């Protein structure tokens, strides 16, 4: 959610101008000046005259006028003149004290020295030949000014105070958009971003396409707050909250952004993870502060994105329990529908994991509505493409309907990515318009990954890949319920994909046993043709085996499509964290046996089909080795039309995806991986 400015302050009156405020850097400047003064400024009394060592030696030491020398702090030397010599005319300038006219008992001259050792050598050299008893006496003195002990005492105190003030200022910035001062003393304050009347959000409901039913529900929520009497006059109650549920990328947060952009009521936005903090009790405190601010702005809307961060079911797994998160959830439950709950606040939340949420959070009175936001159908994808194509300079002959038909199972975020990739590909080629060819390349890149034409593959491996993909193509072409192939390529893509195929699946939601068995046979076509042609198998069928294993176990344990196991389903979405199986070891062994029988029977059937069509497999593989990419028209030219022709209105998808949204194996694995060979 894009952040906007916060308008928590009700008044807008200008405060009177004040004088300069105290700044912590003034303290640092004072300390620096004091240190410079101590180390570099001369430390002598006003009556002491600065001279050089040469002048001292010639004018005072040789004539015998020096009474004694005092080395102070090993930095400079004080020269004391004899009392009798002070009466001479040349000492008139220093003979009188500034305190009352008596002879000055203090030092009369001074000169600096480089080091103590060099000074001793120089003074001994200057007094060579002078008897020991007549030589000038030298003493040493370590002095401190009156300011030094005071400064040494105050310096640590000043530094501690300065660091404390600086730390408080650094931690005292705005607390994530809550409007008030943040910092360590305000860590329990809410981090919600407020979108009020003075805040402008550039996203509107016109930017949300393909979610017509969800938009109606969300717009009705705004109308509840604007015209409550319209509903309460009939005895109805305003709903407390609505939960947006759907797969990632379908537009849940985008719908909330549009709601913030068009709602005429204050809109608080916050992520579920914003409640969680290192310190104990912070999450519950932030929930209280959030609802406190919301009551002051009521009627208003609170949007919590990714609410599963704090709304997970409590007490399911003691080992993974989190008291802090559960305290935050408990406080949220109380604020939404507790003893002292106020009206006028509607909670809007989004999640793609509704199965893990706590049942107390989903009950009526808290989240009264669950708005399902699924992946768009053909018409929805077409409207989404129209929205994302507006800022792109496209070719006049671009067919948006064809683009929608080529992208089944694509969410709104996937379609936005395809449009952006197509624009980048066209710009890389130096085009002035984005053409259909660029969108085809973009769809291939999104499905299979980046094309790697320069990847070094040996001729032997390339032949294996060609026959592998030809096996998939022939099975899809001659199995009645399998999805017919539309494009096959042996150009490497992505991280591990050495080749991939695109099929033409129907948009359907129910599958029978024959359809799933044909799908398994088509997926096994690559492995089977390797064994028939080369007499050995490779690792290229790794992803194929994963797909058919998930599908076979789903048929036996989820959909009840096995005679021995019977009409039972062992799938429970609420027991993902459980370590126990809902069946015995004997049943587990029987499940494994039936799955293996099912796959073995499908493998034998696939090999029989490929044996009958081996000449066509070889023809297709040789053509793939020459052209690397074959389309449906090429297959019709090489092996004839498909016996089970499907209407052209069906739509192109990626390998392993046989429906517009949910594949039967998605229950076991929600994110099927792309084929790798």
Taking only the tens place, the pLDDT of each residue in 495-520 is 557 877 777 677 777 889 999 999 99
Question: Which segment of 10-14, 229-233, 476-480 scores lowest on mean pLDDT?
Answer: 10-14
To the question of whether residue 664 is assigned a binding role by annotation, the answer is no
Average pLDDT over residues 625-654: 70
Return the pLDDT at 545.
Answer: 93
Return the pLDDT at 186.
Answer: 59
To the question of whether residue 212 is assigned a binding role by annotation, the answer is no
To the question of whether residue 468 is assigned a binding role by annotation, the answer is yes
Report the CATH number of the 459-573+580-646+664-668 domain: 1.20.58.760
Please, how many CA atoms are within 13 Å of residue 26, restricted to the half-sphere of its CB? Answer: 4
Average pLDDT over residues 339-353: 78
Q: Cα separation of 272 and 506, whole Å?
A: 38
To the question of whether residue 396 is assigned a binding role by annotation, the answer is no
Q: Identify the CA nearest to 538 among candidates 596, 468, 609, 616.
A: 468
User: Rounded to the nearest 5 degrees, what angle is found at the Cα of 425, between the Cα atoms of 423 and 427?
Assistant: 70
Mapping DSSP to helix (H, G, I), strand (E, B) and coil, where does residue 247 land? Answer: coil
Residue 208 near residue 373 (C-beta atoms within 8 A):
no
Mean pLDDT in the chain? 77
Mapping DSSP to helix (H, G, I), strand (E, B) and coil, where does residue 64 land? Answer: coil
Q: Which residue has the higher pLDDT, 451 or 160?
A: 160
Distances, alpha carbon 16 to alpha carbons 13, 180, 347, 575, 671, in Å? 9, 20, 40, 63, 61
- Catalytic-role residue among 435, 469, 594, 655: 469
Question: And the tokens for 489?
Answer: 């390529």
Q: Does residue 8 have a pLDDT over 70?
A: no
Residue 487 near residue 653 (C-beta atoms within 8 A):
no
Per-position DSSP letters for 461-510, written without gaps between them: HHHHHHHHHHHHHHHHHH-TTSPPEEEEE-S-BTTTBS-EEEE-----S-
Residue 359 near residue 313 (C-beta atoms within 8 A):
yes
DSSP run (H or E) holding 147: helix 147-170
User: Rounded to the nearest 5 degrees, what angle is found at the Cα of 294, between the Cα atoms of 291 and 299?
Assistant: 135
Return the pLDDT at 434.
Answer: 92
Listed in order, the ranges of the chain carrying CATH 1.10.8.60 are 378-448
Q: How many CB atoms lie within 10 A of CB 26?
A: 11
pLDDT tier for residue 661 given thresholds of 50, 70 and 90: very low
Listed in order, the ranges of the chain carrying CATH 3.40.1690.20 are 49-143
Listed in order, the ranges of the chain carrying CATH 3.40.50.300 are 193-313+324-372
Q: Is 545 left (phi over 0), alpha (psi -120 to 50) or beta?
A: alpha
Q: Does residue 652 have a pLDDT over 60?
A: no
Locus of tokens 């593989």: 621
State percent of the chain over pLDDT 70: 76
Residue 301 near residue 339 (C-beta atoms within 8 A):
no
May I ask the CATH class of domain 193-313+324-372?
alpha beta
- pLDDT, tens digit, for every residue of 457-486? 888 888 899 999 899 989 988 888 887 677
Q: Identify the CA nearest to 211 among candidates 255, 171, 256, 263.
A: 255
Report the CATH number of the 378-448 domain: 1.10.8.60
To the question of whether residue 251 is assigned a binding role by annotation, the answer is yes
To the question of whether residue 46 is assigned a binding role by annotation, the answer is no
To the question of whether residue 606 is assigned a binding role by annotation, the answer is no
Return the pLDDT at 171.
Answer: 58
Mapping DSSP to helix (H, G, I), strand (E, B) and coil, where does residue 129 land? Answer: coil
To the question of whether residue 204 is assigned a binding role by annotation, the answer is no
What CATH topology corresponds to 49-143? Answer: name from scop (3.40.1690)
DSSP state of 275: G
Average pLDDT over residues 554-576: 83
| 469 given a catalytic annotation | yes
Please, how many CA atoms are within 13 Å of residue 111, restricted to the half-sphere of its CB? Answer: 17
Signed CA dihedral, 272, 273, 276, 277: sign only: negative
To the question of whether residue 250 is assigned a binding role by annotation, the answer is yes
- pLDDT, tens digit, for every residue of 16-57? 444 455 555 666 676 667 666 655 554 444 467 788 888 888
């Amino acid at each position: 959610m894009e952040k906007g400015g916060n308008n928590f302050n009700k008044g807008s009156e200008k405060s009177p101008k004040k004088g300069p405020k105290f700044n912590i850097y003034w303290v640092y400047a004072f300390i620096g000046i004091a240190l410079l003064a101590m180390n570099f400024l001369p430390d002598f009394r006003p009556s002491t005259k600065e001279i050089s060592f040469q002048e001292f030696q010639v004018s005072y030491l040789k004539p015998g006028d020096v009474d004694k020398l005092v080395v102070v702090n090993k930095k400079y030397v004080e020269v004391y003149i004899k009392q009798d010599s002070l009466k001479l005319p040349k000492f008139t300038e220093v003979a009188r004290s500034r305190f009352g006219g008596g002879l000055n008992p203090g030092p009369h001259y001074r000169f600096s020295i480089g080091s103590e050792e060099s000074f001793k050598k120089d003074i001994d050299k200057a007094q060579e030949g002078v008897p020991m008893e007549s030589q000038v006496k030298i003493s040493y003195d370590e002095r401190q000014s009156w300011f030094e002990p005071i400064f040494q005492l105050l310096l640590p105190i000043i530094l501690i105070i300065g660091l404390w003030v600086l730390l408080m200022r650094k931690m005292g910035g705005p607390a994530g958009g809550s409007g008030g001062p943040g910092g360590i003393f305000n860590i329990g304050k809410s981090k919600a971003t407020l979108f009020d009347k003075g805040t402008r959000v550039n996203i509107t409901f016109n930017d949300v396409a393909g979610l017509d039913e969800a938009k109606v529900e969300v717009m009705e929520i705004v109308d509840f707050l604007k015209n409550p009497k319209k509903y309460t006059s009939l005895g109805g109650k305003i709903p407390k909250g609505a939960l947006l549920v759907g797969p990632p990328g379908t537009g849940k947060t985008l719908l909330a952004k549009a709601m913030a952009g068009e709602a005429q009521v204050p809109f608080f936005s916050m992520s579920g993870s914003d409640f969680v903090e290192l310190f104990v009790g912070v999450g519950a405190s932030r929930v209280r502060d959030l609802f406190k601010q919301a009551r002051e702005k009521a009627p208003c809307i609170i949007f919590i994105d990714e609410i599963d961060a704090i709304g997970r079911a409590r007490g399911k797994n003691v080992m993974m329990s989190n008291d802090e998160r559960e305290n935050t959830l408990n406080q949220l439950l109380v604020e939404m529908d507790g003893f002292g709950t106020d009206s006028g606040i509607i909670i809007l939340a989004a999640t793609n994991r509704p199965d893990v949420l706590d049942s107390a959070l989903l009950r009526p009175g808290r989240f009264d509505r669950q708005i399902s936001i699924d992946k768009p159908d053909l018409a929805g994808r077409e409207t989404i493409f129209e929205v994302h194509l507006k800022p792109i300079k496209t070719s006049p002959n671009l067919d948006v309907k064809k683009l929608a038909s080529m992208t089944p199972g694509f969410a709104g975020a996937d379609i936005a990515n395809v449009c952006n990739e197509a624009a980048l590909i066209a710009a890389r080629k130096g085009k002035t318009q984005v053409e259909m060819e660029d969108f085809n390349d973009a769809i291939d890149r999104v499905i299979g990954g980046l094309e790697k034409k320069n990847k070094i593959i040996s001729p032997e491996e390339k032949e294996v890949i060609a026959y592998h993909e030809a096996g998939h193509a022939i099975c899809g072409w001659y199995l009645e319920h399998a999805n017919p192939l539309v494009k096959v390529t042996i150009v490497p893509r992505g991280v591990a994909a050495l080749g991939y195929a695109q099929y033409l699946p129907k948009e359907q939601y129910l599958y029978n046993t024959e359809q799933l068995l044909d799908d398994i046979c088509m997926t096994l076509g690559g492995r089977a043709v390797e064994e028939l042609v080369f007499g050995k198998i490779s690792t290229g069928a790794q992803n194929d085996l994963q797909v058919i294993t998930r599908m076979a176990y789903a048929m036996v344990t989820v959909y009840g499509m096995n005679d021995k196991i019977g009409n039972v389903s062992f799938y429970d979405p609420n027991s993902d964290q459980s370590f126990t199986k809902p069946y015995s070891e004997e049943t587990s062994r029987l499940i494994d046996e039936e799955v293996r029988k099912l796959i073995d029977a499908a493998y034998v059937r696939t090999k029989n089909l490929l044996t009958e069509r081996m000449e066509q497999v070889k023809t297709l593989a040789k053509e793939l080795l020459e052209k690397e990419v074959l389309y449906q028209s090429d297959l019709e030219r090489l092996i004839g039309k498909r016996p089970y022709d499907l209407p052209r209105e069906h739509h192109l998808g990626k390998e392993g995806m046989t429906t517009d949204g949910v594949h039967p194996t998605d229950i076991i694995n929600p994110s099927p991986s792309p084929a790798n060979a």
